[in-house]
Copies of this chain bind each other. A is one copy, B any other.
């Protein structure tokens, strides 16, 4: 079997490339070239036929990922499936199952079964949790435990894996010497760092990288190289540990591509507005233009309860400057496990960021949406405005409750609606 990268390099147009090219309205040959050189990835798994696949990277619309998954507290399969539904309904392009509580395999397989979009996971979570069950402590996890989980999740049909392969002993030493406020804020990163310190060994996801590539390649899974050293405070942004890890991820990305495995790079984190462009530029430089998958970024640390808004600012700016893939952030960030409503708000905020970046990047289909909305607004066609909105049911409900006496305007301006006044004005002229 040849992977998407290998097929594209051989000048073939795969079924997936052809489908995505149509979706994105770009020539299939152009897309195949971008896949071949690793500037676009198409998360997939030969074991699963994703109904709604997507391409991520150069020349394509900005994509959005939603994180779902149980916590160690009261894990509920029903809740997670509801979150999945919510994520798909409000336009997530991919979803990640980050479960760490309950029957992980069962939850994952249900999500894989119900999801019409690509599904990603972080295998080190399950490896750690299995080790807790098996040995009473995740620090006793061994290499085979990790490889076994990767194989099993690959067989199950997961489309992309986050691998925190960049937290090496060298990078941990840099971290120890640095003046970081918030050390490691990546769950996978913290698990690995603890394991490495306890066992005095190198990061297994780094040492076993070639073996992992072999497993992954058989399923044509995409790697998302995790940034375990991402800053968790704007005070830590763009520091040495972060950039040292990013450079290493660039090297690993080259190795993955060389081996025919698609790869994208995860990015920060907490970054103030004035450093966002630099962060995107460095990723593209160090990682040979591999798609950049940013987690926010959050442009301030003080937004607890409203971090979906904080992330919308950072995401739109990152995407405007070239980031390709936005991991949503919900209002529950830094506070609690998100519920279905949080998922909805997170997706909507992230979709706004992606869409506004698409506009700024000149994407024609994005401009068409704003044109239609402005036309509906001019005509005071409320049904059309509702239909074109990001949450039609909610907007319809609000509108229904607040229709004014003059029923084509809204309760903001009433009879002084500027659009209506100008319609008369222009007619008279």
A contact residues vs B (CB 8 Å cutoff) = 71-73, 100-101, 125, 128, 176, 181-187, 189-191, 193-194, 197-198, 232-235, 272-274, 299-306, 308-310, 312-313, 316-317, 320, 332-338, 348-349, 352-353, 355-357, 359-361, 367, 369-371, 373-375, 377-378, 385, 388-391, 394-395, 398-399, 402, 404-405, 410-419, 421-422, 424-426, 428-429
On whether the beta carbons of A320 and B273 are closer than 8 Å, the reply is yes
- When distances are taken between beta carbons in the complex, the residues of chain B under 8 Å from A191 are 416, 421
- CB-nearest residue of chain B to A74: B411
- When distances are taken between beta carbons in the complex, the residues of chain B under 8 Å from A176 are 426, 429
On whether the beta carbons of A309 and B416 are closer than 8 Å, the reply is no
Q: Most B CB atoms within 10 A — which of A306, A338, A378, A413? A: A306
Q: How far is the CA of A391 from the CA of B316 in the complex (A)?
A: 24
On whether the beta carbons of A418 and B187 are closer than 8 Å, the reply is yes
Q: Name the prevailing secondary structure of the A interface residues.
A: helix
The 21 listed contacts between A and B (C-beta, < 8 Å) are A72-B416, A100-B414, A181-B375, A183-B419, A186-B418, A191-B416, A198-B428, A233-B370, A233-B371, A272-B359, A272-B360, A273-B359, A274-B360, A300-B370, A304-B385, A306-B391, A309-B348, A309-B349, A313-B313, A336-B402, A337-B412
Q: A394-B305, A424-B194, A428-B197 are in contact. Are A300 and B187 (CB under 8 A)?
A: no
- One of B273, B305, B359, B378 near A398 (C-beta < 8 A): B305
On whether the beta carbons of B316 and A185 are closer than 8 Å, the reply is no
- CB-nearest residue of chain B to A378: B182
Q: How far is the CA of A359 from the CA of B235 in the complex (A)?
A: 10
Q: How far is the CA of A65 from the CA of B366 in the complex (A)?
A: 30
Besides the known contacts A187-B413, A304-B395, A335-B412, 13 further A-B residue pairs in the complex with CB atoms under 8 A apart: A73-B405, A183-B426, A194-B425, A233-B370, A273-B320, A273-B356, A273-B359, A274-B359, A299-B316, A299-B356, A336-B398, A336-B402, A337-B410
- CB-nearest residue of chain B to A184: B422
Copies of the protein in its oligomer: 2
On whether the beta carbons of A373 and B185 are closer than 8 Å, the reply is no
Q: How far is the CA of A305 from the CA of B399 in the complex (A)?
A: 10
On whether the beta carbons of A235 and B370 are closer than 8 Å, the reply is yes
- CB-nearest residue of chain B to A228: B418
On whether the beta carbons of B235 and A367 are closer than 8 Å, the reply is yes
- When distances are taken between beta carbons in the complex, the residues of chain B under 8 Å from A390 are 302-306
> How many whole Å from A374's CB to the nearest CB in chain B?
4
Q: How far is the CA of A416 from the CA of B125 in the complex (A)?
A: 9
- When distances are taken between beta carbons in the complex, the residues of chain B under 8 Å from A375 are 181
- One of B305, B336, B395, B422 near A183 (C-beta < 8 A): B422
On whether the beta carbons of B197 and A429 are closer than 8 Å, the reply is yes
> How many whole Å from A391's CB to the nearest CB in chain B?
6
Q: Which 7 A-B pairs have the closest CB atoms?
A: A72-B414, A190-B418, A273-B360, A233-B374, A274-B360, A299-B356, A190-B421
